[in-house]
Amino acid sequence: MNYKQTKQWIVDKNIDSDKQTEMIQEAALWIKQNKLIAFPTETVYGLGANALSYEAVAQIFAAKGRPSDNPLIVHIGDSSQLDKLVKSIPLNANKLMAAFWPGALTLILEAKEAIAENVTAGLSTVGVRMPSHPVALKLLQECGLPVAAPSANMSGRPSPTTAAHVIADLDGKIDGIVDGGSTGIGLESTVLDVSKPTPMLYRPGGVSVEEIEAVIGKIDIDPALETADSAPKSPGMKYTHYAPNAEVILVDSDDSIHHLVAEAKKEGRKVAVFATTGTADYKADIVRRGESLEHTAHILYGVLRDFDEQGADIIYVKTVPTEGVGRAIMNRLEKAAGGKRV
């Protein structure tokens, strides 16, 4: 699927002019006309299509090269839209929406039939969230309909945190991009199934397990986060995701990184290292560091893409503690590395 031109609307995240509002209104009109529009959220850029149209949603899978058994998250601009999308809203869901919406939390609920079947991948449930990014919220409110929106990248690639990332992957394959600058958190939303008696985490993300449990008490962690042999109930559970072209290997210690870098360079490979904090001299060709777990999450996908652009052959990433946003960072890195860890 190719279009002659992918249109860009460049808007300030504060939407401080009538002209910017008009651009967002035009992008919203295109979504209502069943076109594909990428837009920024506080997590990553999403690729939006009318969630009520099977044909519109099918274009998402075609543009991304995404497996059709991988469900999509539905984005809304007003919580009143839930009535048309889900059969019921449990008490836990109401508590979490009050605490974290708009925000980086996707809630899985029992779906109504109005949602296009390819959004849910044939499941009886649907993941819904209300993003907090002002451009995303304005776009969704102007649409007045639910928008299915996975990350706006080619399937398997690092998710896009700038419009330039979207263009690199999808230029000519989608109708338009609303360029609202760099995203905030940098990792996708947390996905929590609240249709169960005890809510279950399907994907760690921008809202931590600790934050959720402070609101509703203990939650379960789906064992499928550790395996890939069951039908995915959430995006990012089954297939290798977030991977650059270069090989990624997770490493637990500085000593191991030093050894691996030296060996790879002997083999003539261009070596990149990504670590959170620390001052170790890894003697790699390219080294990037996160200043904190939050900063690491924010820059992770951009760093992986940058390593590719600089021609890295192999990337060693130092592991981080699985606390707070660290759980989400490690989830994405384990996917990017395909389980390769030293």
Q: What is the pLDDT of residue 235?
A: 53
Whether the per-residue pLDDT at 274 is higher than 90: the answer is yes
**pLDDT digits 0-9 by tens, 310-332:** 999 999 999 999 999 999 999 99
Q: How confident is the model at residue 4 (pLDDT cuts 50, 70, 90)?
A: low
| Closest to 50 (Cα-Cα) out of 28, 71, 81, 83 | 28
Q: How confident is the model at residue 229 (pLDDT cuts 50, 70, 90)?
A: very low
Does residue 70 have a known ligand-binding role?
A: yes
Does residue 94 have a known ligand-binding role?
A: no
Does residue 149 have a known ligand-binding role?
A: yes
DSSP 294: H
Does residue 155 have a known ligand-binding role?
A: no
Does residue 259 have a known ligand-binding role?
A: no
Pairing of β 220-221 and β 247-251 = unpaired
**pLDDT digits 0-9 by tens, 144-180:** 999 999 999 998 899 999 999 999 999 999 999 999 9
Q: What is the pLDDT of residue 131?
A: 97
Distance CA 5, CA 3 (A): 5
**pLDDT digits 0-9 by tens, 24-34:** 999 999 999 99
Does residue 129 have a known ligand-binding role?
A: yes
Region 200-229: what's the mean pLDDT?
87
Does residue 66 have a known ligand-binding role?
A: yes
**pLDDT digits 0-9 by tens, 231-252:** 445 554 444 568 899 999 999 9
Residue burial 128-148, b: 16+ Cβ < 10 Å; e: rest: bbbbbbbbbbbbbebbebbbb
Q: What is the pLDDT of residue 293?
A: 95
Whether the per-residue pLDDT at 202 is higher than 50: the answer is yes
Could you give all domains of the chain from N- to C-terminal order, each with its CATH number?
7-225 (3.90.870.10), 247-337 (3.40.50.11030)
